Structure 1
């Protein structure tokens, strides 16, 4: 049987097993694996054990690895190559509050019919159990058709993604030799907003910083001290207000070191997506795009760094009016990074900038809140175009290479620790309500997602092993 015929048989097996696959997902979704809540620690372990059992029955060598937090599930199909493919997902889920906004109990999942088609409703349906199971169902169908699993797979499923993945980096460092692969496949993403399949090839990094500025040893009467004593809110506002110039560029010295312009081919591809910035903003009650002069909207949210004030506080903000010079002011500021910007350099530049505004008789302190570099994948690797073609074939429309304005630290960890690029391919939709009540995953995303992985697997590896008839 040829490779094309093999693939057709795998796709047919996935179609025939659709109902059983949904039943398995519903069973998985019933486990309340909320990683942020200590009361659910045993439930998180139960989800790991459920996965280990499923993967072992499929023929994987599946192991639960304990960590200082929640366990990792690692499965291998007895690697037959030096550089296999690594598949990553997470089996923990977000808390369900506020519970009264759910239309059905969040851990009593079901298939529902909506005006837009069938959906799987329940916590974790889209983030990330449903996406993770698109991997597993593709492997199941492959085994059913070929009589065995592909011999070059490593699966890494973690139980702490929704609580910051505190154990992940140490685990990757301790098991690096066993986890290195040619590429990582990450399923925790979505399709492009118009429903076309997409491969996310670049992610912005992140630096978070809290600044606290203190002046007098108490709040001061503005009539007695105003105009003479330092006002921490005014000082901090001046520092923050000068972080950008009139053209929307960040003013920190060296901030744009390592920032790269888009190549012409990728810029053309992004322009072809037809992104409507005004319509995008209209969904949140705005209509006028701002940002750097001379940059396209998608360029600004996917390929340009940012500086944003996320919160600012100080003084009196209650009812009525209190004329004081506050003793303290504070703000939280974040930077999204692109290219090869260094998080430590950006943090240092921000602190130096603020210090230049602080009078000698005032004090300032800084509190870091995370730092991760941007991730940019090497799309010249033929595997990226092969996967793009496979997605296009399955979905009947041209797949796209896209960026992401947010940060997915695992992609950077794979790059830094394991030395490999990642393909971020998921089948979520903008309306899946992840992290919110009534989370759902389209049945079509689940089914076509599994079919997509079967196509990608076929495209990225030669036919191996025997074929069952």
Structure 2
């Protein structure tokens, strides 16, 4: 019963093909939370794919309906070895985005795992099925080697993360006592570089909204009415252009955070940004806040994006002035931003610029809150030491991910320190056709998590704060 034997046993689960075989089974579930017709599959994923193996590992499991209509169900599991031992909360989500089968490369299909070189292709392979599979397999490995974990574990599995985690906050509030723990350790999102482990302690928040200019019904001949009818597309374009300057720097004062403190700047110094090794496009160094480094722009600052725009009929343009224009927008924001004040500030800004005709329509998906744990927190140092011991590489440490996660449900509602250890990478095509995970990261991820769980069971983790 040694740490080294446990790491070897974890690696053997990959080398034997066990992880790939089990991931193949998980990917087959078409658990698309964005498709209301697949609601039954979300429940089946939890009851067939996850619950039996957790119960076999000594977990007591309970299923829960979502308190929000249209949201997928939850599975709670716990293995309590001794109330005096530390308790780790683990989270994962079994839902995926739409398969988009018609857009995958030839020979690939979203719900059939395909093995090509170092990549395993399939919808959910990276987000999030392999990530919670690795963590569960690591727990099983420690149990097999030690005969016990040496700490308590509670698991929350949801099936609506890809539609904004409706009901998760309510469930955390209703079951706060049951889910009490010392730390959240979970996996989602990408590594900063495929060959270096990453850990992050929170995420940027996300607020979605549409800007709409609705002036009249129908379109009218551009020759007969040009110069006489206001063009909603032009009004919308000018309104959008007023939100940032020509290089994307935010012009709304309330959208500019004050939380990029010296300790956060120090934590971000030297971290890679964007895809490495050809994973993703090259970043535009002349875009975004001019006084910030790329890492500070991505992880320590707010960013505004126009996700889609439409006026008229782009696929078949007519010689007519449209009466309607719409842009779907998003603000990714960090701790220190008043989330509830974002849209009112936008309204004031538009009115001050003479854009009263532009309507602000909040997204039905709601708001992901921003969270962040101090880089010097004891659990951060503890996990970093464990990962370094396992891999021989110091991990990249992010105060918060650039993307958004429902981490506020654990950090703010349950009051937990939160540490995320992703088992994917920037070029995984998450949410896109040809989603995949790298075998090399899966193998190392199994070793990392088995080593971390071994360490917690051996030494109990840092002292409670």
Task: Indicate the larger mover: 206-215 or 22-31.
Answer: 22-31
Distance change in 2, residues 1:180/1:292 (3 Å): same
Shift of 1:304: 0.9
Structure-to-structure mapping, 1:313-352, within 5 angstroms: 313-314=310-311, 322=319, 324=321, 326-352=322-348
**Unpaired runs of at least 5, structure 1:** 465-469
- Work out the CA distance in 2 between the residues paired with 1:28 and 1:276: 29
Shift of 1:113: 5.2
- Alignment partner, residue 51 of structure 2: 52
Is the CA contact (8 Å cut-off) linking 1:311 and 1:333 kept in structure 2?
yes
- Alignment partner, residue 153 of structure 1: 153
- Alignment partner, residue 260 of structure 2: 261
- Work out the CA distance in 1 between the residues paired with 2:314 and 2:37: 37
Helix, strand or coil at the partner of 1:207? strand
- Work out the CA distance in 1 between the residues paired with 2:247 and 2:12: 57
Shift of 1:196: 0.6
Structure-to-structure mapping, 1:73-222, within 5 angstroms: 73-78=75-80, 80-81=83-84, 84-99=87-102, 101=105, 103-109=107-113, 112=115, 114=117, 117=118, 119-215=119-215
- Work out the CA distance in 2 between the residues paired with 1:319 and 1:108: 36
Is the CA contact (8 Å cut-off) linking 1:235 and 1:357 kept in structure 2?
no
- Work out the CA distance in 2 between the residues paired with 1:246 and 1:106: 39
Helix, strand or coil at the partner of 1:136? helix
- Work out the CA distance in 2 between the residues paired with 1:348 and 1:224: 38
- Work out the CA distance in 1 between the residues paired with 2:229 and 2:109: 57
Shift of 1:317: 5.1
Is the CA contact (8 Å cut-off) linking 2:139 and 2:450 kept in structure 1?
yes
Which of 336, 360, 367 is 2:361 aligned to?
Answer: 367
Is the CA contact (8 Å cut-off) linking 1:387 and 1:460 kept in structure 2?
no
Greater CA radius of gyration, 1 or 2? 1
Shift of 1:220: 6.0
Distance change in 2, residues 1:320/1:90 (3 Å): closer
2:265 corresponds to 1:241:
no
Q: What does the per-residue CA deviation read over 1:117-175, in whole Å, with 9 as the maximum and x for residues that have no partner? A: 4x444332222221111111111111112222334111111122233322322222221
Shift of 1:303: 0.9
- Alignment partner, residue 413 of structure 1: 409
- Alignment partner, residue 452 of structure 2: 456
- Work out the CA distance in 2 between the residues paired with 1:275 and 1:211: 30
Task: Indicate the larger mover: 15-24 or 448-457.
Answer: 15-24
Q: CA RMSD in A?
A: 3.2
Which of 391, 408, 414 is 2:387 aligned to?
Answer: 391
Distance change in 2, residues 1:137/1:292 (3 Å): same
- Alignment partner, residue 23 of structure 2: 25
- Work out the CA distance in 2 between the residues paired with 1:164 and 1:247: 30
Distance change in 2, residues 1:358/1:220 (3 Å): farther
- Work out the CA distance in 1 between the residues paired with 2:123 and 2:316: 39
Shift of 1:86: 0.5
Shift of 1:428: 0.7
Is the CA contact (8 Å cut-off) linking 1:77 and 1:149 kept in structure 2?
no
Is the CA contact (8 Å cut-off) linking 1:89 and 1:187 kept in structure 2?
yes
2:294 corresponds to 1:297:
yes
Shift of 1:87: 0.5
Shift of 1:345: 0.7
- Work out the CA distance in 2 between the residues paired with 1:320 and 1:246: 28
- Work out the CA distance in 2 between the residues paired with 1:281 and 1:228: 50
Is the CA contact (8 Å cut-off) linking 1:44 and 1:70 kept in structure 2?
yes
Helix, strand or coil at the partner of 1:148? coil
Q: What does the per-residue CA deviation read over 1:351-401, in whole Å, with 9 as the maximum and x for residues that have no partner? A: 122223447xx7543210132332111222211111112212222222111
Shift of 1:407: 1.1
Q: What does the per-residue CA deviation read over 1:250-291, in whole Å, with 9 as the maximum and x for residues that have no partner? A: 2224333x5312425x534533335589x8999547755312
Task: Indicate the larger mover: 372-381 or 337-346.
Answer: 372-381
- Alignment partner, residue 467 of structure 1: none
Structure-to-structure mapping, 1:439-450, within 5 angstroms: 439-450=435-446
Paired residues, number:
449
Q: What does the per-residue CA deviation read over 1:295-339, in whole Å, with 9 as the maximum and x for residues that have no partner? A: 111111111112233333335757676364x43333333212112
Is the CA contact (8 Å cut-off) linking 2:213 and 2:324 kept in structure 1?
yes
**Unpaired runs of at least 5, structure 2:** 461-465
TM-score, length of structure 2 as denominator length = 0.85
Is the CA contact (8 Å cut-off) linking 2:60 and 2:78 kept in structure 1?
yes
